[in-house]
Structures are given as structure tokens and as C-alpha cells.
Amino acid sequence: MEKAVNKGVNVPIRYNGDLLDRRKNYALNMDYLVLNLEGSPLVGVVDCLKIDVADYGTKVFKQKAEITYKDETLGTLLFEPRSTVLDANLCQFQLKNYLFYTKDGKELKKMVKHALDVMGLDYKGVNRLDIALDFSQEQHDFKGLLTNILTENVLISGREKDINFYSRTVKGRIAYTGVQIGKRSSSRFCRIYDKTYEMTKGELKPHIATMWQKVGLTGQIWRYEYQISQKWFAQHEISFDDIFSQNCLFNLFQKAAKNHFELKENTGKKELNKEKDVVFIDFSKVSNVLGAITGAIGKLTRTIKETFIGQQRMIKGLLRSYFSSNHDFGFLVPLKRMLNDFDLWEWYNQKFSQYIAEFKEKEKIKTINLAHYETDFNIEFVEI
């Protein structure tokens, strides 16, 4: 980070993320994966697989099972949807976090494929995928970058976004610990945060620390993470094999970041797009370190792009019914399915506050609890 004397407004302290005289080390991993599957799974002990069904399910699924593969816990399977709106054969499978750091892509793909074959389940798509790029504070002065964003020396380009900053005090001084860009319910959601600090506050994850040691990451480690939902994957072609490919993960990450977290200097120009770019992380250099091959992620062509007035009215009606019934979760299931099927998320996010105000003021619904709604809306394995 270069230091500059700020003699007037909008004179940026330039962010120098690339320290060219130092060896760059990065780690790119999946950190969370839920697959959408189809079928009626076998249970019990079959071949090298143990499917142990629990005594309880979830709000969405009647059945929940822990899957063990050759004495290693592979993940959690949900099946038998409660709602008749959903396909009766829909299953969702969440893999255990430690697998992403202790198995390479080929080995993990082989394990998952064998488990699906034994249970008699077919891959239908990705429900949620989190991809994490780890780097050290020595490589990129992210604390300095956060300071420059907060003081408006650096601007965030693109559409209006929800931004939340996180900090703590250290010896009475503010220390920034991260930033969150977007909403968790969006098709892509970004967090950049002090992973070293987070690991001291929550569940111990020695497999992550071991991975850092192997790739040579030391000191304060930051995590640049994208949570990508089914809404995003509905418009992009991703096969089962792609999910476990390092090249595909790298290209997915790059695609998710495009037009989402892009930075500009603030020199006072009236048009933001005329300001000079501020490079946070140079993906070409990350590609060289990881040995990843840059390639295009195919985008599906949507054959329907009209105004869906009827569907919009139905969605509003389902939302009204959810609140007036004192938060009956059953109304959210078809609501979310329609948002996915007709690509109406942007419209829904724009209209949500207006509808809530209308339900409260005009229709006098008194059982509106937005915290309860957020919990229900973002419940585990919800992108159905």
C-alpha cells in the first residue's frame, strides 16, 4: 500500500494488491456443496456404503440420513419431500466440509459417484456451491483496501448492492475483519473475511490449517468466498464432472466475481466507468500459481423472457398467505420454486419491501415477523 498525502477530496491512496517481488501462494477449494438428486435411495448397509436414517427429518424433507463411505463420513442425504409441490423423488445431498481439504477432486468425485450409484440416485444439478480463494495479508493488503473503500478513496462499481463491513477493537483501535457483498438469498453472495481470526472463534478445522501449511500460506489469512446458488446454476451449464475440476472451480469463481466486486479509483469523475480500475486480485496470476486453465463457462439461453404477470400475482399471494397464516412454511416452497422456474428473483427482491408495507398498512396483517421469514427462507437445503 503506497502512502499518499490526501491534500483534497477524492485523492486516492492507491491500493497496490500485487507485491511483485514476493512469491504468491493461493489456495482454491470448494467449501460447501449441496447436490440435487433424483431417485428413491436404498438404506442400510450396501456394499461399502452405510445409509443411517435418523429419527427425524427437516421442514422440507421427511427423511434424513448420514452417509458413510468406507468408514469415512461422506455427508447428509435428505429425501421424501413433505410438500406435494416438489417432485416426490427429489433428494439433496450435502458433503462434509473436511473432504474438500483432504481429498483431491478426482478422488472425491469417485467417492461421490460410487455412493450415488449404490443408492440408485441420479445427479440433477447443483443446489449450492461455495468456492473459497485464500491469500495472506502479506500478499494483498486487504485491510488497507477496506479502509480505502470506507473512506471512498476506492469505489465499488456496478449495480446497487447491499454491503456490510465487519470489525472488532484491538487495543482500542478498530480492526476490520471482513466485508459482505449482496444477500444470502441472491444468486451469488460474496464474503471476504479474516479466516485466521474466524477459526479462533468458531469450530476448530485443523484440515484447513493443514492445507494452508501444504501450500505455503502463513500469517494472517484472508478468505475471498463466493456462495453460488441454484438460481445462478440454472443459467449455466455445469456437469457432475465439472464440479470436481480445479479448472472449472477457478472459472466459476472468476465468472461469479465479474461485475460483482469490481473496484475503481475515486478521482472525482462524474462517470464512474471512466475512473481507473483498481485490481484487487489479478486472476491471471492466480491462474499461474494454481496451474488452472482459463476458459468460458457456458451460459444457457433462456427461451422464455416475458412479463409473467400471472406468476407475479401468484407469488405475491403465496407471500401474503405465508404471513397471514402465521408463517406457514408450506407457502414458501411453491413461492421459491416459481422464482426459480420463471427467473423472477430480481423482480421479487425489488418488490418485497413494497409488499410487506402493503400487507401491514392496507391489509392489517399483524403476524409479520421478518426475522422468522429470513430463517424460513434461508433454511438449509432450501434452493428447491
Q: What is the pLDDT of residues 28-54, one digit of tens each?
A: 999 999 999 999 998 888 888 999 999
Instruction: State the distance between the two ends of the chain, measured CA to CA, in whole angstroms.
Output: 44
Specify the pTM.
Answer: 0.75
- Residue 40: all three cell numbers together: 428413491
- Residue 6: all three cell numbers together: 490526501
In this prediction, residue 383 carries a pLDDT of 45
Cβ 261 vs Cβ 155: under 8 Å: no
> Letter for the amino acid at 340?
N
Strand-pairing partners, residue 32, are: 130
Euclidean distance between CA atoms 373 and 185, whole angstroms: 12
Structural domain boundaries of the chain?
40-120, 131-290, 309-377
Euclidean distance between CA atoms 345 and 201, whole angstroms: 34
Euclidean distance between CA atoms 152 and 141, whole angstroms: 17
In this prediction, residue 258 carries a pLDDT of 86
Q: Residue 381 class from Cβ within 10 Å (0-12 exposed, 13-18 middle, 19+ buried)?
A: buried
Residue-wise DSSP of 320-338? HHHHHTTS-GGGHHHHHHH
Euclidean distance between CA atoms 290 and 28, whole angstroms: 8
**Spans of the chain, pLDDT less than 50:** 1-23, 296, 300-306, 380-384
- How many CB atoms within 10 Å of residue 243? 21
* CA torsion, ordered 342, 348, 351, 356, to nearest 10 deg: 120
Euclidean distance between CA atoms 265 and 156, whole angstroms: 9
Measuring CA to CA, how many Å separate 267 from each of 10, 143, 195, 274?
A: 5, 21, 32, 10
Q: Residue 274 class from Cβ within 10 Å (0-12 exposed, 13-18 middle, 19+ buried)?
A: exposed
Cβ 225 vs Cβ 133: under 8 Å: yes
Residue 111: phi, psi to the nearest 5? Answer: -65, -50
Reported residue count of the chain is 384
Residues 6+ apart with CB under 8 A from 7: none
Which region, left, alpha or beta, applies to residue 65 given φ > 0 means left and ψ of -120 to 50 means alpha?
beta
Euclidean distance between CA atoms 252 and 227, whole angstroms: 11
Euclidean distance between CA atoms 353 and 356, whole angstroms: 5
Euclidean distance between CA atoms 178 and 167, whole angstroms: 7
